[in-house]
Amino acid sequence: MPGSHLRNISAASLIASLSIMGSPLFAQDTGSTDMSPLVGQINDGNWLAEDEAQSLLAEVYYQRAVYAYMTMLPALNVIGMRDGSQETFGEGYNVLPIWKDRMDSRAWVPTPNADVIYSMTYLDLKETGPLVVKAPPNVIGMFTDFFQRTITDVGAIGPDRARGGLYLLLPPGYEGHVPSSYMAFESSTYNVFLFFRTIMGQGDGEPDPAPAVETAEQTRIYPLWAEEKNIPAMEFPNASGQRLDMMYPTDMEYWTKLKEFVDYEPVEAITPELRGVLASIGIIKGQPFEPNDWQREALGKAVVDAPKMILASAQLGREDGRSKYYEDRQWERAWAAGTAEWMQESYLDLGARSRFFQYAYSSAPAMVMRTTGAGSKYPFTIRDADGDLLEGGQTYKLHLPADIPAALFWAVTAYNVTDGTMPETDQLLPSTNGYYDIPKNDDGSIDLYFGPEQPEGVEDAAFIKTVPGRNFVAVLRLYGAEDAFYDQTWKPDDLVKVEP
């Protein structure tokens, strides 16, 4: 049952764990009739002792830092990607790194996809003004602002409908002329993330990246008002095969990078309420950020505790069960049956959003909408058929019934649970996909295996290597998901423990 792990905790232990600064969670009846309830609850109507007041103030600061960490994670996630990329490949609107030989576990990126060709770059509309992006045909992609709010999908779900075309990205508050001949979109941040995926071809029993690279290299980016003679040629560095750290910071740098971002972007890019949260920990646009010793200690504690809190919520599960794809399977959906903007019917799902950006990036409508033969779906599981957490020292079998409902292609990948990076072993691509010649059973179904050692008789293309002593997430990608997936007439089996 969803949330059953949490319900196994006694009410008494929960209340004890939620006591703050030695005060009980719920106020006690004072028995007094000559004072209002709050006067009776707080120190008989008197100011607090100095040390208690200081302790409570420090607790509030810490709690606000935790909340700031969780709500700002979408921005820090993509800032880490930008900084890691530009440190290695250089910066500039004409520099578009492409993983021409696929992305493998040497790239520290949240849930990278080894089974498509990635093209990713980071644009600065404050520096360049409006930018034109010529998108190639048949891209699966998007533009997002630096809170990873989708500006527009690109491709089959985007306005170009997979034909490609000229997109015009406008900076926040742009008041200049907008030519009618472009697909024009205004960003809420000066920084914009360009994320294109192109589909590999079918090689000799394995995928062929060359057609996808050729498509990606048709991308062109240039300022709207630039003269042709001043537009530099595109550069497409090969990002494959390199050690890349594109993760968000895990120390005090988290806050200093956040402060730089707040100073650079328009005030309106962040809601007044969240600006208030940031202000309460000393991050205010245009003002110095100079935390004192105890504040630095609280900020350091928050940057350690907050990701563990997010991880705990994913581990223990949701009481409402909205993340489960099926009644009889362990597979989950990252959006918990909400929208790509993390909206449930009546609220913004902060828990689902913070967990997503801890281990993934780039949420877009094409990932959530129930489009047949277009878009993409990403069922994932952290547990096996017995309900036990997946562990890299155990061998598992994943049975996929025949006729996998993916019009473009399907793939299965293993990831680290904490941050979505790939587990690094001598198998640098911990994934497999429908381009490989994977042996089929008599009924057309296939069996894939996860584990520390390849089982005897299992083909290379049917095996994904994991790390003993480390938990992992298994993700099934369906590009161009078809109606059998939505109708649940086709369902993947749960992972089952097997003897190696």
> Phi and psi (nearest 5°) for 35?
-150, 155
Shared-domain flag, residues 310 and 387 = no
Shared-domain flag, residues 236 and 256 = no
Residues shown for the chain: 500
Residues with Cβ within 8 Å of 208's Cβ and at least 6 positions away in sequence, in order, are: 200, 201, 202, 435
> Phi and psi (nearest 5°) for 55?
-65, -40
Alpha helices in 188-241 (DSSP H): 210-216
Residue 19 domain flag? yes
Reduced to 3 states, what is the DSSP secondary structure of residue 406?
strand
Query: Which secondary-structure segment (H or E) carries 366?
Result: helix 365-368
> Phi and psi (nearest 5°) for 160?
-80, -15
Residue 337 domain flag? no
Shared-domain flag, residues 218 and 286 = no
pLDDT tens, N- to C-terminus, the chain (500 residues)? 444 444 455 544 544 444 444 455 454 554 556 889 999 999 999 999 999 999 999 999 999 999 999 999 999 999 999 999 999 999 999 999 999 999 999 999 999 999 999 999 999 999 999 999 999 999 999 999 999 999 999 999 999 999 999 999 999 999 999 999 999 999 999 999 999 999 999 999 999 999 999 999 999 999 999 999 999 999 999 999 999 999 999 999 999 999 999 999 999 999 999 999 999 999 999 999 999 999 999 999 999 999 999 999 999 999 999 999 999 999 999 999 999 999 999 999 999 999 999 999 999 999 999 999 998 999 999 999 999 999 999 999 999 999 999 999 999 999 999 999 999 999 999 999 999 999 999 999 999 999 999 999 999 999 999 999 999 999 999 999 999 999 999 999 999 999 86
Beta bridge partners of 153: 142
Shared-domain flag, residues 367 and 486 = yes
Number of H helices and number of E strands within the chain? 12, 21
Count CB-CB contacts under 10 A for residue 331: 21
Shared-domain flag, residues 211 and 139 = yes
Residue 68 belongs to domain spanning: 58-75+250-316
Q: What is the CATH number of the domain that holds 266?
A: 1.10.3360.10
